[in-house]
Amino acid sequence: MNLFGTKKPSKEAIKQKLMQNKALSTQRYLQFAGVRDNTLILKDGGLRSVLEVSSINFNLKSEEEQNAIIGSYQQFLNALSFPVQLLVRSRKLDIDTYLADMKSRMKKLENQLLKDQMAEYIEYIQKLVEYSDIMEKRFFIVVPVNPPRAEKKTLVSKFLSYVNPDDTVLNILKRRGEFKQLKKQLDDRLEVVLTAIGNCGLKVEPLKTEEIIELFYQVYNPQLARTQKLGELEDLSITQGPEENLVEEK
């Protein structure tokens, strides 16, 4: 107890408070406020859908197939009446899930010779990925929609929204009707992109809420993500309403 009769906080409580303040200071400079209904919600009220697109080996296609792909891609660009963002993410190959599955299967083997061979295979793959720096690429299309008030923002107002984001978040929380209206407009744009990209012979899938969270976790924690995998959504506190769209770890 101190002179005012209040209990002195423990070192652990002080440490947790400092860590919480550090997390809040980091979130202050992020552009997004949360994830809901497979949609990324920005602090200025804008919505984003993230689509993952498969790849094809263009050089292995015949000349006719190449021309068809180019023509389909031109049609995709001509069909757009709104901006999209094309992203390519390159990172070191992560085969931890594959190796964990192989180890699980190895434990079920009764033949000792097969066990030894599989153990040698797992060790070989681990060393191959570790020393070869094998990279994997993922391709994304980001489809945006912004409210009129966000389009009219000046540089000064954008800067103030980063410095004092709470006011911006409060504005988002008061606009449930706006969220529904923008979501419908975003779904219409998604349909255009999905159809046009499908005509190019590419497979495209919108990322779900869990996948968007995992993507940002890997982007902002590249080293930590390799050793600490993101848990199931049951381990996260995710609100369901647009008026409560922040995602935070328990």
Is there a single domain that holds both residue 181 and residue 62? Answer: yes
Q: Are 110 and 221 part of one and the same domain?
A: no
Report the domain count for the chain. 2
The verdict on residue 3 lying in a domain is no
Q: Are residues 175 and 245 both part of a single domain?
A: yes
User: What is the signed CA dihedral for 187, 189, 195, 200, rounded to 10 degrees?
Assistant: -130
Answer for the pair 84, 142: CB distance below 8 angstroms, yes or no. yes
What parts of the chain have a pLDDT lower than 70? 1-28, 149-176, 226-227, 229-250
Give yes or no: residues 110 and 34 share one domain. no
Within this chain, do residues 98 and 183 fall inside the same structural domain, yes or no? no
3-state secondary structure 112-172: HHHHHHHHHHHHHHHHHHHHHCCEEEEEEEEEEECCHHHHCCCHHHHHHHHHCHHHHHHHH
Do residues 216 and 153 make contact, with C-beta atoms less than 8 angstroms apart? no
Confirm whether 6 is domain-assigned: no
**pLDDT tens for each residue of 54-109:** 988 888 889 999 999 999 999 999 989 999 999 998 877 777 778 888 888 888 88
Residue 152 lies in a domain: yes
Decide if 2 is inside a domain: no
- Indicate if 147 and 241 belong to the same structural domain: yes
* Dmax (CA) of the chain: 85
Give pLDDT, residue 15: 57
Examine the domain organization and report whether 182 and 221 are in the same domain: yes
**Same domain? 68 vs 181:** yes
CA distance 147 to 44: 8
Same domain as 19, residue 62: yes
* Residue 210 belongs to a domain: yes
In a domain, 5, yes or no: no
User: How many residues are present in the chain?
Assistant: 250
**Rounded distance between C-alpha atoms, residue 113 and residue 120, angstroms:** 11
Q: What is the value of pTM for the model shown? A: 0.65
Expressed as residue numbers, the domain containing 153 is 11-90+138-249
Residues 31/42, Cβ–Cβ less than 8 Å: yes
- Does residue 169 fall inside a structural domain? yes
Q: Based on the domain organization, do 115 and 146 belong to the same domain? A: no
**Does 64 reside within a domain?**
yes
- pLDDT at 21 (0 to 100): 55
